[in-house]
Structure 1
Amino acid sequence: MTARAMTKLDHLEKMIRRKNGASIAEMMKATGWQSHSVRGALAGALKKRGLAIASEKIDGVRRYRADEQT
C-alpha cells in the first residue's frame, strides 16, 4: 500500500495544529497561494474537516490555530 502525498490543505492543517499556529504569511509561503486563497481554505475546506479555527494577535502578527469542534 502506498501512502498518498500530502496536499496543500494537509500542510495548512498541520501548520494550524501547531502550538503557536501559523500566520497568513507562513501559510502563503508553504502553499504558494495568495492571502485570499489561504483565508478561503481556512473558512471553507478546513472547517468542513471539522476544525474550529481561532485567531489571535501575538506580537502584532495574527496567528491562526485549530481545535477539534465538539
Structure 2
Amino acid sequence: TLPENNAALQESLDLVQELRDEAHFREFYTKQRAARKYNTRVILRRFKEGDLVLKRPMGRDKRGKMTAN
C-alpha cells in the first residue's frame, strides 16, 4: 500500500544517509592514517636565512621524453 511504501522509502533514505556518514568517516580515517604513515618518513629540515639551498628551476620542460626535439 501507499503509506507502507512511503514509510519504507523514508526508512531507506535514512539508512542511505547513515551509510554515507559511515563511508565519509572511513575515508577520513584512512587518509589520516596514510598521512601519519607518510609523515613518519619525512625528514624535518630547518633553514636559516642566508643558508644555501639547491632549488630546481621553475620553468622546467614538462613535455616528457617522447616529444620532438
Q: For the superposition of Structure 1 and Structure 2, which TM-score range results when normalised by the shorter chain?
A: under 0.3
How high is the TM-score relative to the length of structure 2? 0.22
Larger helix percent? 2
How high is the TM-score relative to the length of structure 1? 0.21
Larger strand percent? 1
Higher relative contact order (CA 8 A, sep 6+): 1
